[in-house]
Amino acid sequence: MTLQEFCQHVLQAQQKLQRQRFKGAVRRIIHQTSLMISGICIAMLLNKGFLSLWMEFHLSRLAVRLILLAVLLSAVARLVLQGFAKVDCSTAIRELDRISNRHNLISTAHEFLEADKDSIFAQYAVSQGVEALQDALKRDMKPTHRPLNISVVAAACIAAMDVSLLSGHAVNAASNDEPKVSTVSSAAKISLKQQPKKIDTVSNDTTAENGTLLSARQHKTAQGQIISSTAFAQASAAANQTQASGGVTSDMIRQKSNTMKRRSASTNLLRTAGFKGAGAGQTPPTETSIKSNSLNIGDGLYEDQRQAAAKDKDTLKTFENSSRRPFLSDRRSAPGRELGRSGKKDKPGNGRGGLGAVKKSRSTAALFPGRILTVHVPSQPGKGKSKSFEAEAPLKPEKAGRTTELSTADSREERVRTDTINPEFKKMTQQYFEELNAYSNRMLKESPSAD
């Protein structure tokens, strides 16, 4: 197939794809419009309900309509433009590849045809690409994004709305989250001025029930039970008021515990890796312990932790680019590679020196399988790969004799000054060594290794 024929096929696919896109765009307009309408309905419901807690303004009916219209128009415009957009050749090929789901064969074939590659594998790839193209053209070109089932989405939206309304999730979230609490408390302050009597009754009720000041946790549970907006605002305001009278506000505690959490998270990261830091090996501090620490000890603790973290960071840098790695499992540092005597008496040996009781064998690994040695055999190059004990074979007798003779001759002629020695003593010594030499030669001849 030539490039022209291939392109004609692609053009066909382009036209088909264009039609499919338009259909898909229309379908999507219908689906997305219905989705948006349901979304805006939900927003309106929320606006009337608990959302008004957070927002200090209400959307008017006209404003809602205008927003709805703007959203609809923009969506329709986007989708229509997408539907009428012209499909270019590369997009069509990519789309065909997606439809055929056969390893980019079509785009590969197009590329090889364009580059005019003539290797047998390139031609084979082109033929496979054409096959895939024809196969893709036969298939129904479905749009890339499958439309969502509107009934499922609508049901999910309504369910989510119901759940959030009934569980009072937003109310709880408001009590847990700092900025929300502040907004709620500010709202409560406003209402506090307006309705002082009601607040007093709520706060009195809660304190009367518990018999003590309202703690932060009790504050939460109390808030969870109150569903109506005014009651919630009153309760939180009362809680704030009672905690303020105790000397430490809930905001202060929360703020301190959050900063501690952030610091302890950064140091814990290092500690879990096995490095010694401040308090390494301890369990991570709980929220209550952090609170008590922060209250009792104060800022001195932060300084220690900061120093420990800085120290750990330095240690990390030294390990970062070396082959030594710390043991992550048992939180120990990496063993040293030095072979000298190091360590302490009470610590067990690790096979790397030191005074420990248990040690690994000091022998070399090659002792077990045996070591290959080249035995020097005259006139035979590379003769004999044998075990190490063979290297200790006894000397040949003739060689031994020759060596002894040579050495005595050397000593007689060069090293010993003979003129100062008594001739009789000289004769006796010579006789003794000659007898000794003869004896050793005789013994070597008689020994079985000489065979």
Partner 1 sequence: MPTQTECLKKAQVQIDHFIQQFTALKAQIQQCFVGQNELVEDLLCVLFAGGHALLEGVPGLGKTMLSKTLAQATAMDYERIQCTPDLMPSDITGHKTLVEAENGSHQLIFEEGPVISHFILVDEINRATPKTQSALLEAMQEGQVTIGRETIQLPHPNFFVATQNPVEHEGTYPLPEAQLDRFLAKLKVRYPETDDYRQIIELTTTGGVVAAEPVLTAETVLQMQQTVAAVETPELAIDYVVRLVRATQPQCSDMAIVREHVTLGASPRAVQSMVMLGKVKALLDGRSSVSVKDLKGSAAIALRHRIAMGFSAMADQIDADQIINEILNRL
Question: Where does this chain bind partner 1 (CB under 8 A)?
Answer: 103-105, 107-108, 111-112, 117, 119-125, 127-128, 269-270, 272-273, 316, 319-321, 323, 325, 327-328, 334-335, 350-352, 360, 364-366, 369, 374, 376, 378-383
Under the phi-then-psi rule, with left for phi > 0, alpha for psi from -120 to 50, and beta for the rest, what region is 247?
Answer: left
Give whichever of 151 and 323 is closer to partner 1, judged by the CB atom. 323
Tell me which amino acid residue 188 is.
A
How big is the CA angle at 107 (ends 101 and 113), to the nearest 5 degrees? 140
Q: How far is the CB of 380 from partner 1 (least distance, A)?
A: 8
| DSSP 8-state symbol, 386 | E
Q: How far is the CB of 270 from partner 1 (least distance, A)?
A: 7
The answer to whether the CB of 194 falls within 8 A of the CB of 138 is no
What are the helix (H) ranges across 88-246? 89-100, 105-115, 120-138, 150-167, 169-176, 178-194, 196-210, 216-225, 229-245
Q: Which residues are bridge partners to 373 per DSSP?
A: 386
Give whichever of 6 and 232 is closer to partner 1, judged by the CB atom. 6
Q: Which residues are bridge partners to 327 per DSSP?
A: 332
How big is the CA angle at 236 (ends 191 and 211), to the nearest 5 degrees? 125
Give whichever of 179 and 382 is closer to partner 1, judged by the CB atom. 382
Q: How far is the CB of 385 from partner 1 (least distance, A)?
A: 9
Give whichever of 224 and 353 is closer to partner 1, judged by the CB atom. 353
The answer to whether the CB of 176 falls within 8 A of the CB of 220 is yes
Give whichever of 330 and 346 is closer to partner 1, judged by the CB atom. 330
Q: How far is the CB of 202 from partner 1 (least distance, A)?
A: 46
Give whichever of 48 and 103 is closer to partner 1, judged by the CB atom. 103
The answer to whether the CB of 259 falls within 8 A of the CB of 251 is no
Q: How far is the CB of 305 from partner 1 (least distance, A)?
A: 17
Q: How far is the CB of 109 from partner 1 (least distance, A)?
A: 8
Instruction: Find the helix or strand (DSSP H, E) in which 385 lies.
Output: strand 385-386
